[in-house]
Structure 1
Amino acid sequence: MVGDSSYGAMSIEELVKFFQTGKVVGFPTDTVYGMGCLLSEDCVAKLRELKKGREKPFAVFVPDVDSAKELVEEFPNYINSLIKKHWPGGLTLIFRAKKGLPPGVVSGEGKIGIRIPDFPPLIEAMKRVGSPVINTSANLPGEVPPVSHKDVRVPLELMLKGDSKGGIPSTVVDVSGERPVIIRMGAVKVFEIEAITGKTILLSEGNVLNILYVCSGNTCRSPIAQYHLSYCARDLPLFIRSCGTLGFSGSPATENAIKVMEEIGVNLTAHRSTPISRELIQWADLILPMEPVHREEVLSLGANPYTILPFYEIIDLEKIPDPIGKDIEFYREVRDLIVKGNRWLEKHLRERFNP
């Protein structure tokens, strides 16, 4: 049966009715299309059957912060500003769980994942029934999480029509310790979490940071930075790219850029220029513009300000000089500035992967 996910009384009444009878309901959220039922051991069993025996604990949706606090041992002060901005939203936080909760929502370490979804009918339904909802994406193991009820292949008795807002899973952060640990990267950018909490994040195994350098033509400064960091930090789980604001595509690095990087053992001959794009900006977890004008271009394409770290500020400059058209000695000076900045960056990235 498919219901209407409009924010009207019928949608909420359907949710309340089905939740109260112990049914598993499918619903759109702000991340991916999900399914769930009221917090109970019976619900865990039903969801595991639908997810083909999944053993990992399920996350729990709550309607408000007070409901979250009822499920956890401690609510650290450093997350207050974070939840103020991202609850409701695509942020799942992991806490130490209180005793007595169903085993299927508590990990072997005694932790529970909690989120307030940005879907008003579901929040209102939880308030009316007086219970959190155990939630999971409405897909089978190995499948891509659906974004619409039309994509769901799991057999459900009620599915609310609608598309999820983002199609990006929530960011999962363990806040049970002194330092936020990123378990899964997702809708909320990791360096935004770091900036808001004031705590240095730690990325758990399996996460990859996407790093993007930006200059004008993408033929000297940004490829020098890209290939140098790729060489120095090759043991870290980084995906490093570069692009240019002038729109050049397919051009090689300049001859002098290739020469000065050969001098320090880095090969630039494979590089081809890439124009900046909205897709690249959204892909990146950390964006490093070479000049203020590049920073403004990045912002104009909708970048999250928390993802931007002006590369020139790392070494206390107003900008990284553009060597295009200059002699090889000038290229060496620019290369050395970039190497200096990358050494600092590499050190700080390592601190976020190694506790």
Structure 2
Amino acid sequence: MSTIFDCRDDSQLLAGMRHARQAIGRGELIVMPTDTVYGVAADAFSPTAVQRLLDAKGRGRDQPPPVLIGTKETLAALAESVPEPVERLIEAFWPGGLTIVLPAQPSLVWDLGETLGTVAVRMPEGRVALELLAETGPLAVSSANLTGQPAAISASDAEQMLGDSVAVYLADGLSKDGIASTIVDATSLVRRSADAEPGTVRILRDGAVTREQLQEVLGDLLEPEEPQDAEHVHAEEPQDADS
């Protein structure tokens, strides 16, 4: 039987965080609040736990979950490199609603699905999320809903869809705005050779951070607007938006 902890109550917060840590350690799933929508989370370094997350949502391995981190510095351990324009994005929008796709660190021992060698990373806002990530390390997190259903903006919304497939639900009221993160593809900024042409940043999904905000930071490095490419490994239909 799953348990919901109301993290607005300090006593329930302490108990909920303890149970959530223990569940992650056992390879189970939890639901957690983020600054965008509620997310269902698993240990990013446990292939069994990540598969459990995909199964709970009704997703295939061709839709790998993004990874949430608790500090900006953690990105350097997960990505092959962090180009200077990405550092600018991080300074401007983290913690916050921007997910950045980069080539993954080749030495990582994990299996998030068919990522094609990339990783989508975000540092969320919010006390509960950041305190949990500080204790668990990186978590694979997707929106807490069944594929094709609206993203959950409360823990009770998530429980109605995911039920006992999740061990612990951490509640923190309604999501701030219920808008999923913006996803950008910065993989082409990582040069494969010294004479390679500089790449651009492409918006894979519109969300909490607007194109205008990105333009202010990136200037000409932001790829001009065009119809969204729905086939990219980290993009998905808007009604099943990752957190």
TM-score normalised over the length of structure 1: 0.54
Q: Which residue of 64, 69, 77 corresponds with 1:57?
A: 64
The alpha carbon displacement at 1:149 in A equals: 1.2
Aligned twin of 2:38: 33
Q: Which residue of 181, 184, 205 corresponds with 2:205?
A: 184
The alpha carbon displacement at 1:106 in A equals: 5.5
**Following the alignment from structure 1 to structure 2, what is the Cα–Cα distance between the partners of residues 48 and 67?**
24
Q: Does 1:170 align with 2:172?
A: no
Aligned twin of 1:268: none
Structure 1: 5+ residue stretches without partners: 208-355
SS of 1:198's partner is helix
RMSD: 1.9
SS of 2:58's partner is coil
Higher relative contact order (CA 8 A, sep 6+): 2
Q: Does 1:68 align with 2:75?
A: yes
**Following the alignment from structure 1 to structure 2, what is the Cα–Cα distance between the partners of residues 204 and 16?**
42
Which residues of 2 match residues 1-355 of structure 1 at below 5 A? 1-6=3-8, 8-39=13-44, 40-55=46-61, 56-99=63-106, 100-104=108-112, 107-108=115-116, 110-129=117-136, 131-152=137-158, 153-155=161-163, 156-162=166-172, 163-177=174-188, 178-202=199-223, 203=225, 205-206=227-228
Structure 2: 5+ residue stretches without partners: 189-198, 230-243
Distance of aligned partners of 1:126 and 1:188 in 2 relative to their CA distance in 1, 3 Å threshold: same
Distance of aligned partners of 1:105 and 1:88 in 2 relative to their CA distance in 1, 3 Å threshold: farther
**Following the alignment from structure 1 to structure 2, what is the Cα–Cα distance between the partners of residues 90 and 132?**
17
Residue deviations 1:23-81, cap 9 Å, x none? Answer: 20001111111110111211211011101142311100011112111011010101223
Q: Would you say the 8 A contact 1:169–1:187 is kept in 2?
A: yes
The alpha carbon displacement at 1:128 in A equals: 2.0
Residue deviations 1:93-130, cap 9 Å, x none? Answer: 0000012343325612x11100011122222222223x
Q: Would you say the 8 A contact 1:43–1:134 is kept in 2?
A: no
Q: Would you say the 8 A contact 1:58–1:104 is kept in 2?
A: yes
Identity %: 26
Q: Would you say the 8 A contact 1:15–1:122 is kept in 2?
A: no
Aligned residues: 205
SS of 1:168's partner is coil
**Following the alignment from structure 2 to structure 1, what is the Cα–Cα distance between the partners of residues 21 and 131?**
9
**Following the alignment from structure 1 to structure 2, what is the Cα–Cα distance between the partners of residues 204 and 127?**
38
Q: Would you say the 8 A contact 2:183–2:204 is kept in 1?
A: yes
Aligned twin of 1:277: none
**Following the alignment from structure 1 to structure 2, what is the Cα–Cα distance between the partners of residues 12 and 89?**
21
Distance of aligned partners of 1:105 and 1:165 in 2 relative to their CA distance in 1, 3 Å threshold: farther
TM-score normalised over the length of structure 2: 0.78
Q: Would you say the 8 A contact 1:60–1:105 is kept in 2?
A: no
